[in-house]
Structure 1
């Protein structure tokens, strides 16, 4: 009988550390259900609405309406579409994305994932990358000439897959924060074998392996950067609590 190699043992240790956290993420994804109409005023959905934030309703596949919010100047040449994490809604991301939009002079759209927050649908996983592509198309239709995706945690592989498939759009970079490598049910960027314009990935220690896998295995037209921080904060908390993580994201967007 074959004995486990050190590589196999290391993989098992990694899985033992990740599985409890991933289980929590997926439970939260199920609990963060939809109950708000997509055209609900942002002030009725979110406790804090940054000045200038606007409600947008996107029409996606299967006639699903996605509630979204947009921040940043309408004439900005760079547009960024955000795929939030499993336990989040657009409300969690609006303050940080509003500040980022002001600093970089970019326009940012944050849709609620279908079946979550203000978006219709039943959370059909196979449609999630297409939904983010719809947000990118909206930015392009509004005048953005260069496009980026930013995905965090559960949203990480969604963002990368959307960037791989958005071949008709002027994509410049995909940014993954604390990303999973994929989501069972139809989000598998490692199996897509299509290039992104550039990939930048940043993660805490526990998600370093998945960030590294995405960075090393997804083809890139222009090599991006990988950064693993020796901290425990995850997803949006990583960006909020560690300025070097947010600076990394901003440096990625400045390549557009």
Structure 2
């Protein structure tokens, strides 16, 4: 089994670590200034632990679906810096069954869970919404954007994405468009990014970028400024 596949399987078995309403400092070694704990009520009564950064009155909000080996703690520093630069509000929920979220990691609920996060942003005043997913979270974000027809979606962003997840996350089989799709990936995940970009219907064509590097997911954004700039350019279309 490829090393990345092994890491994904191990990550999916880690389970919930802290309570959804626990202080962020009890979960994360580093908590950016201004980050706040949020508890989302998802399907079947499952509580999802999340964190939000960025100005409460921001008109643009983004929900993040992290990768299989991550929790919200991994993403908070980078998303806090992005939120400050672009003046957007960003919510990062832990995937159900992981980190601070309850549940057993039911795959078929993952897109709906991200829609719950998007709805929370909308209820808080965001008038334009984006979904970002990385690695395992990539197809979750795209599928959530396809299905969020009652929300003011402006863009879906996929970073080093898988094309789907067995058990109920299949954006390539969904006959619904996203408003716009921006995909960026390293060489090894270039075929996945290309497949999503070319096969998922888009109301307005986004952009595809493949970087000749090996860094994956959050490592791609951290290690290569052009990848993070790509994400920010996608958000600027909102």
Equivalent-residue separation in structure 1 for 2:159 and 2:84 (angstroms): 20
Is the 8 Å Cα contact of residues 115 and 122 (structure 1) preserved in structure 2?
A: yes
Counterpart position of 2:115: 133
* 1:38-58 per-position Cα deviation (integer Å, ceiling 9, x unaligned): 000000100000000000000
Q: Are positions 1:68 and 2:50 aligned together? A: yes
Counterpart position of 2:32: 50
Counterpart position of 1:13: none
Shift of 1:30: 2.3
Give secondary structure in 2 for the equivalent of 1:50.
coil
Counterpart position of 1:163: 145
Q: Are positions 1:223 and 2:205 aligned together? A: yes
Equivalent-residue separation in structure 2 for 1:80 and 1:196 (angstroms): 15
Give secondary structure in 1 for the equivalent of 2:69.
coil
Give secondary structure in 1 for the equivalent of 2:196.
helix
Q: Are positions 1:174 and 2:156 aligned together? A: yes
Give secondary structure in 2 for the equivalent of 1:215.
helix
Give secondary structure in 2 for the equivalent of 1:182.
coil
Give secondary structure in 2 for the equivalent of 1:87.
coil
TM-score, reference length from structure 1: 0.92
Counterpart position of 2:226: 244
Q: 1:120 aligns with which of 102, 105, 109?
A: 102
Q: 1:78 aligns with which of 60, 64, 70?
A: 60
Shift of 1:33: 1.6
**Structure 1 stretches lacking a partner, 5+ long:** 1-18
Equivalent-residue separation in structure 2 for 1:136 and 1:166 (angstroms): 9
* 1:69-89 per-position Cα deviation (integer Å, ceiling 9, x unaligned): 000000000000000000000
Shift of 1:24: 2.2
Counterpart position of 2:173: 191
**Structure 2 stretches lacking a partner, 5+ long:** none
* 1:13-71 per-position Cα deviation (integer Å, ceiling 9, x unaligned): xxxxxx61442232232243212100000001000000000000000001100000000
Equivalent-residue separation in structure 2 for 1:23 and 1:244 (angstroms): 26
Is the 8 Å Cα contact of residues 32 and 87 (structure 1) preserved in structure 2?
A: no
Q: 1:92 aligns with which of 56, 66, 74?
A: 74
Counterpart position of 1:110: 92
Equivalent-residue separation in structure 1 for 2:205 and 2:5 (angstroms): 32
Equivalent-residue separation in structure 2 for 1:48 and 1:22 (angstroms): 26
Equivalent-residue separation in structure 2 for 1:71 and 1:172 (angstroms): 19
Aligned length: 238
Equivalent-residue separation in structure 1 for 2:61 and 2:23 (angstroms): 22
Give secondary structure in 2 for the equivalent of 1:174.
strand
Question: Which of these two proteins has the greater Rg computed from alpha carbons?
Answer: 1
Equivalent-residue separation in structure 2 for 1:208 and 1:197 (angstroms): 22
